[in-house]
Structure 1
Amino acid sequence: MMNSPRLLALKTDGLVAHYWHFNLAELIFQVTFNFGFCYLLFYLNLTTSSILFIYRNNQRKLLAYFLNFLLLLFCCIVGGIVQRHSFIHTQLRNIYWLGYISRYFLTTILAAILIKIILLLRIAQKKEKENEQLKTVYLEAELELLKEQLNPHFLFNSLSTLSGVVREDPVKAQYFINHLSKIFRYSLDQSGNQMATIEEELNMIRSYEQLLKMRFEEAFVLTIAIDTEYLNFKVPHLSLQPLLENAAKHNSASKKKPLRVEIFIADYQLVVSNNLQAIPRPENSTGIGLSNLSSRVRILMHDEIVINKTTDSFSVKLPIQR
């Protein structure tokens, strides 16, 4: 577009050709010089180490605009003089300079628009990246807070059970403390990890199972039926223990009517199910366990737990992750 007069001069019988003879070498010079000017504009305005970019970022935009104007003026004068002395022209001098300045002015406007678009895109990307970083920091802090809620809650319930075991059987209390230490060791060892494999969770659950068996004896039955192919799948850290704790807390259990808990895989979900046996005088529920787990699944896996409750059973389905 900017060299259209030159291209129109190719038509030898046209009006433009009468005043302006086409010269291929001159056209190549113009295109090359124009390209160099555009490259210099983009480089100085978009390269983070360039002085124009630094001035722009330091809120010295007027100085940056002035330096761009000087660059335009310098290239326009140098290019015009070199071209006029290198090639023979028959057109009037004023028309030559008017066309030359107009061409560079239009080039500068188009380049400025593109530079502005690129700078705006960079700002948008930077803000998006900062927002993602802030979101990540916030979610990590929220997850740590949720995990910190679990430990005191579990510790309080465990100590309440331990106080009763100590009075009844000091030897059994030692066994209880041994398994309790394994659970807390797992909790502390994995404190930096938000996700754990199903195998790691099940190893911890077997220790927790022993605590429940000491409390309920034959009135508690845990069945785990998970194929080995799923053991390396991941779930949120400490996701199974609160479910067993809820089952033990909100259901009655006796030798004749034991509390039965099953852990298995169904439809690529980890299912924890128990039979419902209402307690005559149920304890007040804080709801920390399920609410905490639901929040962590939502944050870590962008998914939801599924809770199913019937007249005789209660189950929670957890999404699993490879």
Structure 2
Amino acid sequence: MKIGELHIRWVGILIVSALAMINDGEGHMSDKPIWFHYFVSLCFTAVYWNGACSIIFFLRKKFPEIDRTKRRVLLSAAFIIVWMTVGGIPLKIIFNFVEVKDLLSLTEHVRYLPFNFIVASVVSLSYEAFYFFEKWKEQFTLNQQLKNQQIRTQYEVLQNQMSPHFLFNSLNTLTTIIPENADVAVSFTERLSEVYRYILQNKDRELVSLKEEIDFVKSYLFLLRMRYPDNLTVDFKIDDRYLGLTIPPLTLQMLAENAIKHNVVSKAKPLHIDIYIENGKSVVVKNNLQKKDSLDRSTKTGLENIRKRYRILGQKEIDVITSAANFIVAVPLIDLLEERDLKFT
């Protein structure tokens, strides 16, 4: 059986109750048997400790972020001091330690204030130290997962684009263009270099701006349109106000690649891709659906790769919609300023 906080807490309550009984010099129960003395000590310790834990766990839910540690510690210490002052009043009355009229005296409540302050500080800092370590360990694990996922993404994209098939088609297209139009050949070469440069420059980044990703996708699609000059059209409808929002790198490229990989692209059946913003919260990649009868060997990791990266980043799920006429994928846009404001609210 896994030992959790609850098990440790109650073992601690049993031990602290014994120590409190030994150090009780007030003689409230000098005429009582030792088992009763311990029972009373156990009741007070359990009430104070469990109440303090409830305060700490409530504040963790209210302020779970690491950057709110200072606020969480100060509030938990303050509330625990109050709890240590008033939480045991019912027990004091039950065991006849004080009379009800004595509770109106300020002296009765403040005489234990230094002790309560020490206890509250020790409890708050102890629990916070364990919590901080757990959050750090959790964040370290998430960072490792994201790093591994990024490596897989880089490998998949580089493998697809560095494959002999891709290079053959790119170089064959370039060879055809050079004698016909030198200017277009230069543009083709420049876009080809931009595709690889973008992948290499962003290999260690978790997020890129929408503008960076769109510029990259346009370079990537420029190469593909040289292969399908009249059969592939792409329409971007992105308002400038959304260009500063972010998404994981290569997201749109993978979605555009999937559309071309899984659908017929021909003069009889041209493929059209729309890339646009929906409700200011998502970027959508939509294509008319005309599935190939047979597909080349596929890793089938494109959409799942994107899903996993969004989950690791703690964002919403991507939406995938398939109708008789269209295939639509909507991926959330991430506002870094909004994320920062939420953390410090």
What is the TM-score of this pair, normalised by structure 2?
Answer: 0.56
Gap runs ≥5 in structure 2 = 1-23, 28-111, 336-345
After superposition, what is the alpha-carbon deviation per residue over 1:257-289, rounded to whole angstroms, capped at 9, x for unaligned? 210000001122100000011223322321122
Gap runs ≥5 in structure 1 = 6-105
Against the structure 1 CA distance between its residues 119 and 284, is the aligned structure 2 distance closer, same or farther, given a 3 Å change threshold? same
- Which secondary structure does the structure 1 equivalent of 2:313 belong to? helix
1:236/1:300 contact within 8 Å kept: no
Aligned to 1:134: 140
- Measure, in 2, the Cα distance between the counterparts of 1:289 and 1:295: 10
1:213 aligns with 2:225: yes
Against the structure 1 CA distance between its residues 215 and 227, is the aligned structure 2 distance closer, same or farther, given a 3 Å change threshold? same
Aligned to 1:204: 216
The alpha carbon displacement at 1:204 in A equals: 0.9
Against the structure 1 CA distance between its residues 160 and 306, is the aligned structure 2 distance closer, same or farther, given a 3 Å change threshold? farther
- Measure, in 2, the Cα distance between the counterparts of 1:224 and 1:108: 67
Root-mean-square deviation (Å): 3.2
1:242 aligns with 2:254: yes
- Measure, in 1, the Cα distance between the counterparts of 2:243 and 2:260: 25
Match of 2:308 among 280, 295, 301: 295
After superposition, what is the alpha-carbon deviation per residue over 1:119-170, rounded to whole angstroms, capped at 9, x for unaligned? 6324413422431342243234223323322322333263242254356555
1:306/1:317 contact within 8 Å kept: yes
- Which secondary structure does the structure 1 equivalent of 2:244 belong to? coil
Match of 2:150 among 144, 152, 155: 144
The alpha carbon displacement at 1:296 in A equals: 1.2
Aligned to 1:155: 162
- Measure, in 2, the Cα distance between the counterparts of 1:117 and 1:277: 64
- Measure, in 1, the Cα distance between the counterparts of 2:314 and 2:114: 50
After superposition, what is the alpha-carbon deviation per residue over 1:144-197, rounded to whole angstroms, capped at 9, x for unaligned? 323322322333263242254356555577654431210111122223321111
2:154/2:199 contact within 8 Å kept: no
2:154/2:203 contact within 8 Å kept: no
1:276 aligns with 2:289: yes
Match of 2:201 among 189, 201, 214: 189
Against the structure 1 CA distance between its residues 119 and 313, is the aligned structure 2 distance closer, same or farther, given a 3 Å change threshold? closer
The alpha carbon displacement at 1:255 in A equals: 2.4
- Measure, in 2, the Cα distance between the counterparts of 1:109 and 1:223: 70
Match of 1:227 among 227, 239, 250: 239
Q: State the structure with more CA Rg.
A: 1
- Which secondary structure does the structure 1 equivalent of 2:137 belong to? helix
- Which secondary structure does the structure 2 equivalent of 1:280 belong to? coil
Aligned pair count reads 221
1:1-322 correspondence runs (5 A): 117-118=123-124, 120-149=126-155, 150-156=157-163, 158-165=166-173, 168-169=176-177, 175-267=187-279, 268-322=281-335
1:294/1:305 contact within 8 Å kept: yes
- Measure, in 2, the Cα distance between the counterparts of 1:285 and 1:141: 23
- Measure, in 1, the Cα distance between the counterparts of 2:334 and 2:114: 54
Against the structure 1 CA distance between its residues 286 and 120, is the aligned structure 2 distance closer, same or farther, given a 3 Å change threshold? same
- Please say which of residues 255-264 and 167-176 is displaced more in the overlay: 167-176
1:307/1:316 contact within 8 Å kept: yes
- Measure, in 1, the Cα distance between the counterparts of 2:209 and 2:317: 18
- Measure, in 1, the Cα distance between the counterparts of 2:214 and 2:247: 11
